[in-house]
Structure 1
Amino acid sequence: MRPRTTGPRALAALALLPAGLLAAGCGIQSTDVIAVGGPASAQAVPPDAESGGTVLFFAGPDGLMPVLRSVRSGPQLSLLFAGPTKAEAAAGIRTELPPSRGAAKMSLARGMVTVALDQDVAGLTPLAQQQIACTVLQSVAPGTDLKVTITGTDDHSSLSPLACPAG
């Protein structure tokens, strides 16, 4: 009988065997998820908004976004419905509000701010509703638990109670 010889394929397989074993058992063990706290948070409204300027809420790349305008006073809802400036739009800021067809009126009673719009409100998207609620609450009573009701010209349509998720 003649002794068996190892062919080139067998030699290649044997040469790769240690590399395969090394890669498969590199010594890293799996671990469980370790909870270390809640998600990171940041102050949504710039601190200098309190010293001067008007905060409006628009739609940004990641949802609702506060925008500080240098206007010290004025009709916040008129500014909101006018939409972002050209510079703000170039930065990716937009609005979900339709163009305003008339003046908006605000009133405060029993812990509720009522915003009466001179247009239909049933078709406002949730983000458009948040734009109004957050802008109004920031101008009237920032940091409170007040809620907002939005009424319009459509029959028996009101959006209530709305809070500001960013505040």
Structure 2
Amino acid sequence: MRPRTTGPRALAALALLPAGLLAVGCGIQSTDVIAVGGPASASAVPPDADANGTVLYFAGPDGLMPVLRPARSGPQLPLLFAGPTKAEAAAGIRTELPPGRGASKLSLAQGMITVALDQDVAGLTPLAQQQIACTVAQSVAPGGDLKVTITGTDDHSSLSPLACPV
């Protein structure tokens, strides 16, 4: 009698055996989701930011982003419309606001801030509108719940009241 040799099919089957056993699983069973509370939250602007400088809102890699400029160096809107500094731009901070002079008039009445710009506002992107709304709301009432209306010179157009999402 002749000894039996293993053929190529048998060798292939033996080679695939460990992979097949791994595919079956290692005995770990699934578990249910365990609720442990709500999502974490944090304030993007420190509570004492107003005392330490000027808070401006620019466009960052993930949307609206507060930027703390050291020491009060003037009204917020002209600084906002001037855009990010070279260092801020190098860090990926940008603006969606067109170059301009900022607000020509700012008024507060019954929890509503009105910003009258000396330029057209119809073409402002939603992020540009948020930049203005958040910068103004932060300067008037940090952490408050104020609405901001933006008006411009383009045929008395007015952007509906905005709240700061940050």
Q: TM-score normalised by the shorter chain: which range applies?
A: 0.7 to 0.9
> What TM-score comes out, normalization by structure 1 length?
0.86
- More displaced, 2-11 or 97-106? 2-11
Q: Distance in 1 between matches of 2:41 and 2:143?
A: 16
Quickly say closer, same or farther: Cα 1:17–1:144, change in 2 above 3 A. Answer: same
> Gapped runs of 5+ residues in structure 1?
none
> 1:48 offset after TM fit, Å?
4.1
- Contact persistence 1:77–1:104 (CA under 8 A): no
> 1:42 offset after TM fit, Å?
1.7
- Contact persistence 1:56–1:135 (CA under 8 A): yes
> 1:125 offset after TM fit, Å?
0.7
Query: What RMSD, in angstroms, separates the aligned Cα atoms of the two structures?
Result: 2.4
- Contact persistence 2:56–2:68 (CA under 8 A): yes
> 1:71 offset after TM fit, Å?
3.2
Taking only the aligned residue pairs, the percentage that are identical comes to: 90
> What TM-score comes out, normalization by structure 2 length?
0.87
Quickly say closer, same or farther: Cα 1:23–1:48, change in 2 above 3 A. Answer: same
Q: Distance in 2 between matches of 1:123 and 1:86?
A: 26
Quickly say closer, same or farther: Cα 1:23–1:88, change in 2 above 3 A. Answer: same
Q: Distance in 2 between matches of 1:101 and 1:141?
A: 23
Quickly say closer, same or farther: Cα 1:109–1:134, change in 2 above 3 A. Answer: same
**Deviating runs (4+, > 4 A) in structure 1?**
1-6
* Deviation per residue, 1:82-104 (Å, 9 max, x gap): 00011111111100000115653
Give the number of equivalent residue pairs: 165
* Deviation per residue, 1:123-159 (Å, 9 max, x gap): 1111111100110011101122211000001124111
* Deviation per residue, 1:69-118 (Å, 9 max, x gap): 12325211000000001111111110000011565310011110000001
Quickly say closer, same or farther: Cα 1:89–1:3, change in 2 above 3 A. Answer: closer
- Contact persistence 2:77–2:102 (CA under 8 A): no
